[in-house]
């Protein structure tokens, strides 16, 4: 029994190393043939422009986080600050809602352009992983306010806790 546990631990460690290597290779693929760094730079520039205008500050901060995500999209994930239990000032929260309403036309345009980009990337086999990254980030393109860039492990743990809460709620109601 103990021997099996040791083998499982070794296998998990080996699998984790391979997964990390694949993430690094995917991030390299994202940057060099597909110019992912240009997408990240664009997010930083647009975020800076929104941040300079005081009204767009929540959008700018969200786009800065999105730019960070775009620098290594296979190693990071975007999650809501609500999921991270980050408390926000009520005035900032209200300001964020107003900024989101103002941002809707920009978000729709960015989503449309990104959907066209996804369709173009799916034509090639090597572009499909990049298309998946862009598809995962459509929600952030549409509404970057109150989003946070976190490592994939943190995002998975948040999803696990949400799932566990749903299971607990289901079991207590039945």
Residue 92 has pLDDT above 90, yes or no: no
Give the pLDDT band of residue 11 (cuts 50, 70, 90): low
Question: Residue with structure tokens 């767009």?
Answer: 56
What Å distances lie between residue 28 and 37, 67, 69, 116, 123, CA to CA? 10, 16, 14, 23, 20
**Quick one: how far is CA 24 from the chain centroid?**
16
Instruction: Give the mean pLDDT of the chain.
Output: 88
Instruction: State how far the Cα of 15 lies from the Cα of 83, in Å rounded to an integer.
Output: 28
What Å distances lie between residue 13 and 8, 62, 64, 98, 166, CA to CA? 9, 34, 33, 47, 30
Instruction: State how far the Cα of 140 lies from the Cα of 7, in Å rounded to an integer.
Output: 41
What's the rounded mean pLDDT across residues 75-101?
Answer: 88
Chain segment 44-70, per-residue pLDDT in tens: 999 999 999 888 889 999 999 999 999
The whole-number pLDDT of residue 159 equals: 92
Q: What pTM was estimated for this model as a whole? A: 0.84
The whole-number pLDDT of residue 144 equals: 92
What's the rounded mean pLDDT across residues 134-146?
Answer: 90
């Amino acid at each position: 029994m103990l021997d099996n546990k040791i083998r499982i631990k070794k296998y998990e460690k080996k699998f984790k190393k391979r997964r990390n290597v694949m993430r690094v290779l995917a991030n390299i693929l994202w940057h060099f043939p597909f110019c992912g760094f240009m997408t990240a730079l664009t997010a930083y520039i647009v975020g800076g422009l929104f941040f300079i205008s005081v009204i767009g500050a929540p959008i700018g901060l969200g786009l800065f986080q999105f730019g960070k995500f775009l620098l290594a999209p296979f190693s990071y994930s975007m999650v809501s600050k609500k999921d991270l239990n980050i408390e926000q000032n009520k005035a900032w929260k209200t300001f964020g809602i107003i900024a989101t309403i103002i941002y809707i036309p920009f978000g729709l345009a960015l989503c449309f352009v990104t959907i066209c980009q996804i369709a173009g990337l799916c034509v090639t086999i090597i572009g499909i992983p990049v298309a998946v990254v862009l598809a995962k980030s459509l929600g952030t393109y549409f509404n970057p306010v109150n989003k946070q860039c976190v490592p994939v492990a943190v995002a998975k743990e948040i999803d696990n806790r949400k799932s566990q809460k749903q299971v607990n709620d289901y079991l207590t109601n039945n």
